[in-house]
């Protein structure tokens, strides 16, 4: 009889329904099935490895996830330090602010009469509705806050920390911005102009010249310096977009000034885009290695799934398995209240890169 191939070692185990199983138990058994089910189970393992290691974990958040009902999951991940730094689209932060201020998104239909919705002042995000009038009030609220600040440029990290603090003081409600403020977790929003937060800032500048100025290049310097100060990093990406590339480019930029960086040590992404059209959102983690964004030996996994399916499952499983890891975790400590951020007591400049290679000569 021919010797069994070395490729035929671990059988697929058909998934058996077991009443009362929790998310962690289900994902554990999904490691022996196929396709995106197995990838989601692998993502659970990779995230656990991140938490067990001494790495700074970046979370990237794109798409309409706050409007779609995932904002409190992200707030939970921040509050409990499953992640150490959030990079988000402006829309996700704006829709989070909308609900933190006591307003809602509503269940709708993708087959609605959009002309009728427009007549009623209703904005639609696929199968979700929101009030245009309430959005206008949010813009004015953001503008009023921005005009109350000193008239100078702010990195998005500094501005969003201040905004989260103001939101917490005025509402006392849980959300992404308020969780990050309370946990001293930095938020970067590299495309803040491409959102209603940007529209509110533009109204601030209209109302009071000199206000509403955001230093997005300072974000690049600050995020790279953060990695230079703490070179071992990991990346969790939800939905691709600008946040995915910003997290990766921070590692590449940091490596230009410090040979200790070497790309992210762990990476997982939950995306719906595919790589063969060339867009960054769907690009593979293997492709990221060619740019130096990811270490060659890094544990990594891509889950091709809508985040509204995968993230509730994954976060629920982590809530069961991660507490022992979190209890032992050495997480970075930030101070964010001032113009200059610190990490573990070291300054993180936003004006110039920390040239570690040069200082070592």
- Residues with catalytic function: 293
Which stretches of 214-264 are assigned E, i.e. beta strand?
Answer: 233-238
Inter-residue contact 275 to 284 (CB < 8 Å): yes
Query: What proportions of the chain, in percent to the nearest 5, are helix, strand and coil?
Result: 45, 15, 40
Opening angle at CA 244, ends 242 and 236, nearest 5: 145
Q: How many CB atoms lie within 10 A of CB 42?
A: 19
DSSP state of 123: E
For residues 299-334, one letter each, b for 16 or more C-beta atoms within 10 angstroms of the residue's C-beta and e for the rest, the string is: bbbbbbbebbebbebbbebbbebbeebeeebebbeb
Q: How far apart are CA 84 and CA 28, in angstroms?
A: 26
Inter-residue contact 53 to 266 (CB < 8 Å): yes
In sequence order, what DSSP letters do the residues of 67-104 get, joined into one string?
Answer: TTT-HHHHHHHHHTTS-SEEEE-HHHHHHHHHHHTT--
């Amino acid at each position: 009889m021919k010797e069994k191939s070395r490729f035929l070692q671990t059988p697929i185990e058909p998934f058996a329904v077991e009443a009362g199983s929790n998310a962690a138990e289900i994902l554990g058994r999904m490691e022996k099935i196929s396709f995106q089910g197995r990838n989601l189970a692998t993502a659970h393992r990779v995230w656990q490895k991140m938490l067990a290691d001494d790495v700074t974990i970046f979370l990237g958040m794109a798409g309409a996830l706050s409007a779609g009902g995932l904002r409190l999951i992200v707030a939970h991940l921040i509050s409990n330090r499953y992640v150490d730094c959030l990079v988000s689209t402006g829309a996700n932060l704006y829709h989070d602010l909308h609900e933190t201020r006591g307003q809602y998104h509503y269940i709708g239909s993708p087959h609605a009469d959009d002309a009728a919705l427009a007549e009623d002042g209703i904005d639609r995000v696929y199968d979700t509705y929101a009030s245009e009038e309430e959005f206008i009030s949010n813009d004015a609220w953001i503008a009023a806050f921005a005009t109350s600040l000193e008239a100078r440029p702010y990195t998005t990290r500094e501005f969003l920390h201040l905004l989260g603090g103001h939101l917490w003081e005025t509402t006392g409600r849980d959300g992404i911005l308020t969780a990050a403020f309370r946990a001293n977790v930095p938020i970067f929003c590299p495309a803040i102009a491409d959102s209603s937060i940007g529209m509110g800032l533009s109204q601030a500048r209209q109302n009071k010249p000199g206000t509403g100025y955001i230093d997005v290049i300072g974000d690049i310097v600050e995020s790279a310096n953060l990695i230079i100060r703490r070179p071992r990093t990991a990346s969790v990406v939800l939905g691709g977009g600008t946040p995915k590339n910003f997290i990766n480019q921070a590692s590449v930029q940091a490596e230009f000034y410090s040979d200790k960086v070497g790309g992210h040590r762990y990476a997982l992404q939950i995306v719906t885009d595919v790589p063969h059209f060339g867009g960054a959102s769907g690009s593979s983690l293997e492709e990221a290695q060619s740019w130096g964004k990811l270490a060659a030996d890094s544990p990594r996994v891509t889950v091709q799934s809508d985040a509204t399916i995968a993230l509730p499952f994954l976060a629920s499983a982590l809530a069961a398995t991660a507490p022992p890891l979190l209890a032992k975790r050495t997480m970075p400590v930030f101070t964010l209240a001032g113009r200059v951020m610190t990490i573990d007591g070291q300054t993180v400049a936003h004006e110039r890169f920390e040239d570690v290679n040069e200082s070592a000569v």
